[in-house]
Amino acid sequence: MSIITSNIIYDLVGLVIVITALTIVILYYKRAFNYWKNRNVPYLEATIPWGTLAAPHRRIVSLGEEITNIYKEAKIKGWKHFGFYILGSPIFMTTDLDTIKCILTKDFSHFVDRGINVNEKAEPITAHLFAIGGKKWRNLRTKFTPTFTSGKMRNMFQTLTDCGVKLEQYILKEVSYHEPFDIKNILGNFSTDIIGSCAFGLECNSFKDPNNPFRLMGNRIFNRTKLENLKFTITMNFPSLARLLRFKQLDPTLTEFFTKVVVDSVKYREKNNVQRQDFLQLLIDMKNNKDGSEQPGDGNTLTIDEMVAQCFVFFIAGFETSSTTMTFVLYELSKHPKIQEKVREEIVCILKKHNGAVTYDSLSEMKYLRQVIDETLRKYPALPFITRKCVEDYVVPGTNVKIEKSVRVFIPIRGIHYDQDYYENPEVFDPERFTDENKQNRNSYAFIPFGEGPRICIGMRFGIMQSKVGLVSILKNFKVTLNKKTKEPLVFSTNSIIPQVKGGVWLNLEKI
């Protein structure tokens, strides 16, 4: 056989393999994309290979905005329940608040899991409270809940106010230069110092050292590249393929950093018999629980890898969400000076009653500040949607729509928050929406920035308290105005689920 003939045969074999592979892929998708049609559920069309959503590396709006647009499209069509696709996976979504209440709360036993892929063996840091499900989640949630009681929050409050003083001193020093502030960066330093102390018992000193490892790692977590987003999408929807390709959800340097911090801190405390009132101490106590009733992996006792995972999620949740919320509060107040002045008047009045001290009780009295924070969370929820996974076949009440076991459910938080059925002129910033009277007249599930039900954000009260301390530290002494470096309208990064503004939010701060 001649060399030419051999090459032709090889080429033909290769062509046959490619055609066969493409045929298999196309047939798979054709079958997958008939899932909702075969079940008589309204659905949005999908294209191969990405499904209904845009390719993660070619997205022109943020994922939160894209999910919001899907919600709006369904509302226009008059759909209460519908399906769409991510890659080949069927996703269920509802626009009906009563159904959302059932999924998140009333019939929670059918939707215990979030549906987030966790590869605990290859990447144990991903097996944290936010992601895991089942019995382990229940046990850990029960163990962690006391960390966020009023008593424990009061114990941590001094740490927050100390960080607030550092924030105030830093701004006071820098404001004399008359330069605009990248406010998210500054508030990121504030949040990093708080979480570093409350979670790890470490002094980060972010204002003195903005390049400290915690700050750098925090920024790295939420600034994914397009390739990382692509890998993450595949990992969430094709976990077996992701394992085969050895995809990781996190940069290995992140895992190495947090593992070293936790291991070193635990060794130091146990060797020197150091006890602190913080999150890490709770984990150490769980690790050393030796009454014999616990089983490895049940969430009642912890390995060092499991401790690293819980510390990791405590850090990323507390660092990013609070700094983001405070950033958008100050952005909106810079555009609404009358609202800003009303907030400031409340702060000054209440602090005067408490001899000028920022205390746990004085913050609790600042109701209008809380209205401003809530309205900000409505417009800019830290998570624009949340997910649940059906763990047992479920029929939506009052319908014949069945959500089958293993199907994921998306709860479109941002879509609900911008729904004109619940909020007139939703693009307008109006804290009056959150007076006691207005809240009572509105379905409580029309405002769910922290989720709802048994899996509501465990650190919600801590996050609000942290945000209040930061905002009070700034607003009591500084007038905030918008700097021209802030590009409007705001454009959000397409590489982050949490809303991040391209080009940053730049503000002028003027000493009062």
Angstrom CA distances, 124 to 308, 371, 506, stand at 8, 39, 38
Q: Is residue 181 part of a domain?
A: yes
pLDDT-above-90 percentage for the chain: 68
Angstrom CA distances, 242 to 238, 239, 249, 502, stand at 6, 5, 10, 30
pLDDT at 54 over 60: yes
CATH code assigned at 390: 1.10.630.10
pLDDT band for position 281 (50/70/90)?
confident
Q: 139 near 423, Cβ under 8 Å?
A: no
How many folded domains does the chain comprise?
Answer: 1
pLDDT at 248 over 90: no
Q: Is residue 14 part of a domain?
A: no
Torsion angle (degrees, nearest 10) of CA 154, 158, 161, 162: -160
User: What's the pLDDT tens digit per position in 113-171?
Assistant: 999 888 888 899 999 999 999 999 999 999 888 888 888 888 889 989 999 999 999 99
**Cross-strand pairs, 509:** 480
Task: Kindly state the average pLDDT of the residues 236-247.
Answer: 76
Q: Is residue 9 part of a domain?
A: no
pLDDT band for position 9 (50/70/90)?
low
- How far apart CA 481 and CA 167 sit, in angstroms, is 18
Peptide bond into 90 cis (omega under 30): no
- How far apart CA 210 and CA 191 sit, in angstroms, is 12
Q: Is residue 47 part of a domain?
A: yes
- How far apart CA 488 and CA 28 sit, in angstroms, is 44
Task: Kindly state the average pLDDT of the residues 336-359.
Answer: 97
Q: Is residue 22 part of a domain?
A: no
Angstrom CA distances, 152 to 48, 91, 227, 321, 462, stand at 51, 39, 41, 21, 10
- How far apart CA 471 and CA 477 sit, in angstroms, is 10
pLDDT at position 292: 46
Angle, nearest 10°, between helix axes 183-200 and 150-174?
Answer: 140
Residue count of the chain: 512
pLDDT band for position 298 (50/70/90)?
low
Q: Is residue 2 part of a domain?
A: no
Q: 284 near 270, Cβ under 8 Å?
A: yes
- Determine the longest span between alpha carbons in the chain, in angstroms: 98
**3-class SS of residue 158:** helix
pLDDT at 92 over 60: yes
Q: Is residue 372 part of a domain?
A: yes
Domain with 180, as residue range(s), is 33-511
Q: 91 near 85, Cβ under 8 Å?
A: yes
pLDDT at 231 over 80: no
pLDDT at position 200: 84
Q: What is the DSSP string of 133-167?
A: -HHHHHHHHHHHGGGGSHHHHHHHHHHHHHHHHHH
pLDDT band for position 300 (50/70/90)?
low
Task: Kindly state the average pLDDT of the residues 466-493.
Answer: 97
User: What's the pLDDT tens digit per position in 416-455?
Assistant: 999 999 999 999 999 999 999 999 999 999 999 999 999 9
Upper half-sphere CA count for residue 420 (Cβ side, 13 Å): 5
pLDDT-above-70 percentage for the chain: 95
- How far apart CA 296 and CA 85 sit, in angstroms, is 37
Q: For all residues of the chain together, what is the average pLDDT?
A: 90
Q: Which of the two residues, 363 and 297, has the higher pLDDT score?
A: 363
457 is known to lie in a ligand binding site: yes
Q: Is residue 129 part of a domain?
A: yes
Q: Which of the two residues, 188 and 28, has the higher pLDDT score?
A: 188
Structure tokens at 278: 């913080």
- How far apart CA 383 and CA 321 sit, in angstroms, is 9
